[in-house]
Structure 1
Amino acid sequence: MRSVELFAGAGGLAMGMGRAGFNHAAVIEWNHDSCETFRFNQQNHAHDVEQWPLFEGDARAFDYGTIGGDVMVVSGGPPCQPFSLGGKHRGHMDERDMFPQAVRAVRELQPKAFIFENVKGLLRQTFASYFEYIHLQLSHPELMRKKGEAWERHCGRLERHHTSNKGAASYNVVYRLLNAADHGVPQRRERVFLVGFRSDLGVEWAFPEATYSEEALLRDMWVTGDYWERHRVAKRNRPTIPLKLALRIARLRDDDIFTGLPWRTVRDAIADLPDPEKHPRNGIANHVFNAGARSYPGHTGSPLDEPAKTLKAGDHGVPGGENMLLRPNGSVRYFTAREAARLQTFPDDYIFCGSWTETMRQLGNAVPVRLAEVIAGSVAASLRVKTENLMGLDCNAA
């Protein structure tokens, strides 16, 4: 199944797509350091990326006519700074808004489906009208914006077309805010996914249900104690049950309550890595200690025995509180790039290039590989079933 990856960044979504069975006909990214990361791993035969045809450059200049052949899925994470809570909140006025290029790719390639990811801030009330505009454009990518036409006027034209008798959508589009922790990622990371299927296919699809939960983690810690046993934490070193969680934990003592698998924690992700401060010469790629971490109000790091806070890219370097480990003794230190990669579920043989700040920016902008694989795998399964059914109908007709 051929695919095209836009705004590939560090490659998390592209890697998840590949693991779900898609073969990239093009991987497009403008950031040089991210492209250097791809090239380094290709040269070292990292299995996930070795065959990717990489195009370093602006997506606005890419010619989709050079790809050739049918493309099953277009995917990507349009730059999120215009909508990020940590950005300047300029939305459609921001020159970094690349959703128009996502729409162009869908219009020109006419894939069977698409998967686009963005920050939670896209759903803020401030951007409600523009988000609806994005939704309408992806539903009707053939109805292009005219030269000099304001987006509000184009949106009105899309609305009239959408509600008319002739306005059947070219793509059936759904969206949902997902928490990566609910799908096995050791990080509380909420992101919006927009998924669309070409309407002529008649695909029936829904977002995969969560398979991990906080309740299961609480049970694992405070009811069965399996979590502490698994990590060989002696009883004398275990924390006491947090008072604010006592009532919830009491309810979890009922074995009939199904809660799925336990959320994965920072400890789950990095426990087997040596402390980079104590063992600076550890021989592990990207696992280098960086001094200078400090807590300040609202930025206190990620506790060891919870999923990490959302890793962030930072506008002027690495933001402290979101990218720090909070040790049980109350001290803090920055996550190494390798630890951050673990929290984003990248494999250990995937090496990141650039300075520590640039590497952490790549990771902070990335889609967790596991979450990408879950979504892409579900889309792939639906497309396979639909393709097999259509092939069966053609054979019967013959």
Structure 2
Amino acid sequence: MSDREAGPGAALRTSRPAGPRAKAAATIAARLTFEAVGHAYDGVVSVDGVSLDVEPGEVLCLLGQSGCGKTTLLRLAAGVEQPSAGRILINGQEVSGPKAFLPPERRGVGLMFQDYALFPHLTIVANVMFGLTALPKGEAEREALQALARVGLESHAFDYPHELSGGEQQRVALARAIAPRPSVLLMDEPFSGLDRRLRDSVRDETLAVLRETRATSLVVTHDPEEAMRMGDRIALMRRGRLVQVGTASEIYHRPADLFTARFFSELNVVEGRAGGHEVETPLGRFETPGTLEGQAVEVAIRPQGVALQPADAPPDRRNRRPGVPGRVVETRFLGEVDLVEVAVEGLDQPLKARLRGGPALPPGTDVTVSVDPAEVLVFAK
């Protein structure tokens, strides 16, 4: 929802500088554990044997394509769905499994939906009070106003959702989720409805609140950059299973397979066969792990690892690897970088390079192509 769509007064409110945001009160973080959890919809497997441990106070991002099972895993943790196999524990207590099933309201879990799910007929403070029904009305209102202060929206307490911008509605949903001070906070694609202009700032504000509350947080996203920016760790899913779990740096530099590597960056993929701890390609020879000896392999080259020089330029002495000849097919200006496609003998598809600075390379330019080995990954085919 854009500011223009949010109502006649929204643009004025969002342009006004917000007051200082109150600090969030810390909660007692809990450990969230999935043990061999399975789930199916009408016989179709959606979650397949997932085992995952989320540390107290950790922000873990569940990453994957649409339909991979990440939202289902979130709903299982919340108690909205029941597992068909395995169990889920919070601080070592079984909340879903063969021996127990605690309803959502007894789990100490906060759930933030993708569409915010605000009640249009209730004021903002009444929306935040919705999860505080166990408290007397006066105390619930004080807690709700405090939660709104944490996200910088106490001045909008008696407005209605349609009067707020998309970014403000997202912060109201966050205030409602943290008001009961949950030990575990579950967030389903919380920023997908925001335009790019708002997304970064609202995401940073949300992360600051999560750090202050210290709630154990499980955040579902399909955006790898968002996962890398927010998560202490990332759990990548595919077809209901975990593919790899680790920090952003671990997964980016040491991806488990080609699927994982492709998820985090664009790749040029060249096929070959490993032999003598190396693989021969039209772009030169690259090292391979000894475990791949004699196997057909796929060599993945990140575009930022491809360097181009005009063929008539003096050789770059800093580059110890000899280059191969190529010809520029297309050049696209992308602001900070140029995306250049180069035809190289022996390759079926043009090689993509992301170049920062340097001379312009219009189509038809003969170039020398070299590759940085640090940007090369080799996987079994």
TM bucket by the smaller chain? under 0.3
TM-score when normalising by structure 1: 0.25
Normalising by the residue count of structure 2, what TM-score does the alignment of the two structures yield? Answer: 0.26
Larger-gyration structure (1/2): 2
From the two aligned structures, give the one with the greater helix fraction: 1
Which one has the bigger strand percentage?
Answer: 2
